[in-house]
Amino acid sequence: MDPSAVATRTPLAPEALHPALWRAHQLGRHAGHACATGFDALDAALPGGGWPARALTELLLPQPGIGELRLLAPALAAVARDGRPLLWFDPPATPCGWTLQALGVDPRRLVLVRGRDGLRGHAFERLPAADTLWALEQTLASGHAGAVLAWLPARLRADVLRRLQLAAQAHDGPAFVLRDVQARLKPSPAPLRLLLGAAGADRLAVRVLKRRGPPLAQPLVLALAPVLPPAARARAEAGRVPARRPVAQPA
């Protein structure tokens, strides 16, 4: 080889050496593919352009039912259309099949996994269910699930989250853990952390707390699939009557 040709060869950019490398001003990449969220603004804000595979996504909620399932519905529908199962661990309420169908999610693909422990007041105040956490870890590590959602107990040891993140690296699909908003004050091994909040009728505020890339200064406000009748929606937006949701319907 001509030595002069070696001397003039353009060096590779550092981020081209490995998927785990990125510059501070850039969005990082994922080791696996990403699943589109169904919201263009959110896809643009997430590394890889969607929900990551082979990694945990942590959703922090002030309370269940603020729109988190409508946020995830486009991705869950895409996974179900591929014929892969949707595994939900300890959801705070029994899912409504017709509502899932209305959101495009095939309920026949849904598998519910519940622990033996009961509830204690607030939906996130579950007694720790070691059997459920073990099943969740094994499901992620198996690599055979399509999409995984897990509502985690409020009192959770840090090493449990680390094991779940390690197991998720074998899971070729989106994996979501839903936790109480107070967990934002504690560190997490999940590479993607989002804080969710209500932003009006059928609207959801999404603040990116952690991502592989620069901080996102302002929260995103996303328009969700409507669940209120037009008249009720108009009243809620006008502020005359607080928005109310049917208890049996998931968000």
And the tokens for 89? 């661990």
Question: Which is it for strands 51-52 and 34-35: parallel, antiparallel or unpaired?
Answer: antiparallel
Residue 1 confidence (pLDDT): 53
d(CA 76, CA 62): 22
Q: Does residue 204 sit in helix, strand or coil?
A: strand
Tokens of 134: 């073990």
| Residues 130-172: tens digit of each pLDDT | 888 999 999 999 988 999 999 998 888 889 999 999 999 999 9
Cα→Cα distances 185→80, 131, 154, 160, 209, Å: 34, 26, 12, 17, 11
CB-based contact 87:147 (threshold 8 Å): yes
Residue-range domain boundaries for the chain: 25-238
Q: Residue 245 class from Cβ within 10 Å (0-12 exposed, 13-18 middle, 19+ buried)?
A: middle
Which residues on neighbouring strands pair with residue 203, listed in sequence order? 223
Tokens of 230: 């037009």
8 Å CB contact between 161 and 186: no
Q: Is the distance from CB of 45 to CB of 208 less than 8 angstroms?
A: yes
Assigned fold of 25-238? Rossmann fold (3.40.50)
Mark the ranges of the chain whose per-residue pLDDT is less than 50. Answer: 16, 18, 22, 24-26, 118-128, 240-251
pLDDT of 8? 57
Q: What is the pLDDT of residue 18?
A: 47
